């Protein structure tokens, strides 16, 4: 499968693209350990970020949402990474798996938990809040949360986390779709 998009080097970017590029490469994603390189040796953006250059104004909003989900949400790193990997499995997103399995390991996910997620299943979770969060994620990936699932999730993790999980699932589903359409691997 070949990438469908041109991957411009930094010197090929127009001013709006350059601003987005600098936001991504100079923001929190670049500040700490990353499960994948944001740029290649020529400075071209990797992963979903290159596609964002097609519409820099929309790309700015999308990358800001992703940064908020990753760096400013109340979700635990384990729950966040399990949810991302559940989306990756549902959309068969190789890149999201590649990027987030190492992050999941760093967050404490076991190889058995990663294998379950990779296979499209929710791992057996002893933690009540984690189990409720992942029950909600599974329901969202099926299209909606029934009253029992919603009530259980709110009781276990709170309304804020339910909102954050719905946002996370929508964001990573958007990325998975873009990664698939533009053939980013």
End-to-end CA distance of the chain: 8
Residue 155 predicted with pLDDT over 70: yes
Give me 6's structure tokens.
Answer: 């041109």
167 in Cβ contact with 64 (< 8 Å): no
How confident is the model at residue 1, as a pLDDT?
Answer: 66
* pLDDT one-digit tens code per residue, 112-139: 999 999 999 999 999 999 999 999 999 9
Could you identify the residue written with the tokens 């399995």? 101
Tell me the Ramachandran region of residue 46: left when phi exceeds 0, alpha when psi lies from -120 to 50, beta otherwise. Answer: beta
Tens of pLDDT, residue by residue over 13-71, are 999 999 999 999 998 888 877 778 899 999 999 999 999 999 999 999 999 999 999 99
| Token pair belonging to 175 | 């990325």
């Amino acid at each position: 499968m070949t990438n469908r998009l041109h991957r411009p080097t930094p010197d090929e970017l127009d001013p709006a693209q350059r601003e987005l590029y600098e936001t991504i490469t100079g923001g929190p994603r670049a500040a700490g350990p990353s499960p994948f390189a944001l740029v290649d040796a020529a400075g071209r953006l990797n992963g979903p970020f290159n596609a964002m250059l097609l519409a820099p104004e929309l790309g700015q909003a999308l990358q800001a949402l992703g940064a908020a989900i990753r760096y400013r949400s109340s979700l635990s790193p384990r729950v966040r990474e399990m949810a991302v990997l559940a989306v990756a499995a549902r959309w068969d997103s190789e890149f999201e798996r590649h990027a987030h399995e190492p992050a999941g390991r760093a967050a404490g996910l076991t190889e058995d938990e990663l294998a379950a997620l990779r296979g499209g299943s929710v791992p057996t979770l002893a933690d009540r809040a984690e189990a409720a969060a992942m029950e909600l994620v599974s329901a969202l990936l099926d299209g909606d949360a029934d009253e029992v699932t919603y009530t259980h999730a709110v009781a276990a993790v709170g309304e804020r986390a339910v909102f954050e999980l719905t946002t996370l699932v929508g964001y990573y589903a958007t990325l998975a779709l873009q990664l698939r359409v533009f053939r980013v691997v």
